[in-house]
Amino acid sequence: MKENNVLVVCGETGSGKTTQVPQFILDDMTESGCGGNCNIICTQPRRIAAISVAERVADERCESSPGSDGSLVGYHVHLDSARNERTKLLFCTTGG
């Protein structure tokens, strides 16, 4: 991560690549003083997956709902968006 701008994560189902790895990266960047430069995008195969994962991750982080003022987590699905200028972890999809 410190040497590359893009990271692709592959792993088994249930391994935490969608919910845990992005949080570890965000927390590490924040703790190292680079949180302002951190923008993480996680793609999901379906609309409902992107929204429910964003809600779950916000809950795990003890943040308010995705896209609200107190949350760093958001989602963007077609024309439906819940994000703001503070969003650092965005779940999105181009699928149905």
Angstrom distance (rounded) from CA 70 to CA 68: 6
Residue 75: partners with Cβ closer than 8 Å, 6 or more residues away? 50, 51, 53, 54, 66, 67, 81, 82, 83, 90, 91, 92
pLDDT band, residue 6 (cuts 50/70/90):
confident
The predicted model scores a pTM of 0.88
Angstrom distance (rounded) from CA 36 to CA 70: 16
What are 27-84's pLDDT values in tens digits?
999 999 988 888 999 988 888 899 999 999 999 999 999 999 989 999 999 888 999 9
**Burial, 88: exposed, middle or buried (Cβ in 10 Å; 0-12, 13-18, 19+)?**
buried
pLDDT for the residue numbered 95: 65
Q: Are 22 and 85 in contact (CB under 8 A)?
A: no
